[in-house]
Amino acid sequence: MLLRLPDSGEVAPVVRSQFDVPIVSLAPVIGGWDEDAAVWDGLDENGRRWAVKTSRRDITFGLAVASSLAEEGTLGIVAPLRACDGRPWAESGGAIVTVAPWVDGLDASDLGTEDVDWERFGGTLRAIHDHPAPPRPRPVRRGIRRSRRSMAALIDGLDRRFDVETISVPGGDALRATWRSARGRVDALAAAERLLKRRRTAVSRVTLHGDPHLGNVVLDSAGGPWLIDFDESTVAPREVDLMLIELGVLFSLPISDEQRCRFRTGYGSDAPVDEERLARFGAVRAIEDLVWTLHRALDDDPRAPAGYDETLDGMLGPAGQMAAVERALERLDTIPPRTTSKEQR
């Protein structure tokens, strides 16, 4: 049974007593896919706004990273407040509670890629990667994969579901057709991932944000990017973060070659970036996202956004991550020929 997230009536006293913030109201922030978290736009008695969040996951490593970075003056990072015991979080009923100053700006995902200062964004991410990881607490996540199951197991699992189960959700036959038409591309990415993994070399592991796409960026009035939400922070190869920006996970916000060049300029040409590893991580993420989206559609998950047709069309279209990864693999002359889809065999 999942731990219940505390509601606003339970969180407000924690904010007042543990963080010494005289909060008077908490308005829920709607959106996002993280079913293990809730976010509020808080207002205190002095008229100051605060971002208040609860999570039933262990996000303490990311909070320690964000706190350390901001306290050192890293541009584009907001410091979570420290609670009365000195930690940048408190607890309520087993859930983590955090409080941070509200970033006065607009979500980058609402504005578009043209409004982002890509050089500054690159510099902020590089500062994170150069920052020593805090010795405690330890990160929960270990690398690119968010599942312990292999690529083959994820693909086979969805195959079996479409082959064996009676698809009762609306549009189930269309979902099956989408998966079968995409299987050749999925198999090609999985084969490329295996090939690149066999060719991998030793790599340094750095402090990561873990999820630095534009959905976690707020732009201030000058267009400066502020990275929020360090929940996925860990220590792993830098290409985990770079892939999420350069190969994208938001098909509605593909970045251009010119923007990617500006980002790399800000990040710094002295950093050793492994293009093969970046493409391999992109293949893993593209397959995971497609498989999990189809599972959610089959489950008819009421928490998921409406319009799976549009989502799947975007993921599999020319602006989607799968196409971006395919182009990266073609540049490396690595992508194998597409296999015949299951529907055609």
Residue 227 pLDDT greater than 90, yes or no: yes
Report residue 170: phi and psi, to 5°. -60, 135
Residues 46 and 175 grouped into a single domain? no
| Mean pLDDT to the nearest integer, 303-331 | 86
Residues 178 and 266 grouped into a single domain? yes
102, 125, 151 - which closes a domain: 102
Residues 231 and 185 grouped into a single domain? yes
Number of domains in the chain: 2
- The DSSP annotation for 249-300 comes to S-TTSPPPHHHHHHHHHHH-TTS---HHHHHHHHHHHHHHHHHHHHHHHHHT
- The DSSP annotation for 110-165 comes to HH-GGGS-HHHHHHHHHHHHHSPPPSSSPPS--SS-SSSS-HHHHHHHHHHHHHHS
Residues 20 and 120 grouped into a single domain? no
- Total-model pTM: 0.90
Residue 150 pLDDT greater than 90, yes or no: no
Residues 68 and 116 grouped into a single domain? no
Q: What is the CATH number for 85?
A: 3.30.200.20
39, 67, 102 - which closes a domain: 102
271 vs 142 pLDDT, higher one: 271
Residues 74 and 95 grouped into a single domain? yes
45, 72, 102 - which closes a domain: 102
Residues 124 and 93 grouped into a single domain? no
Domain of residue 68 covers: 1-102
Residues 69 and 146 grouped into a single domain? no
Residues 168 and 97 grouped into a single domain? no
Position 237 scores a pLDDT of 96
| Mean pLDDT to the nearest integer, 27-34 | 82
Residue 340 pLDDT greater than 60, yes or no: no
Position 34 scores a pLDDT of 76
Residue 94 pLDDT greater than 70, yes or no: yes
Position 1 scores a pLDDT of 45
Position 32 scores a pLDDT of 67
Q: Which helix (H) or strand (E) holds 193?
A: helix 172-198
Residues 20 and 63 grouped into a single domain? yes
Inter-CA distances, 40 with 13, 95, 141, 172, Å: 14, 15, 25, 35
Residues 164 and 292 grouped into a single domain? yes
| Mean pLDDT to the nearest integer, 62-73 | 96
Gyration radius of the chain's alpha carbons: 21
Residues 80 and 162 grouped into a single domain? no
What would the pLDDT profile of 124-138 be if each residue is shown by its tens digit?
A: 999 999 999 999 999
Confidence tier at 336 by pLDDT (50, 70, 90) = low
Q: What is the CATH number for 154?
A: 3.90.1200.10
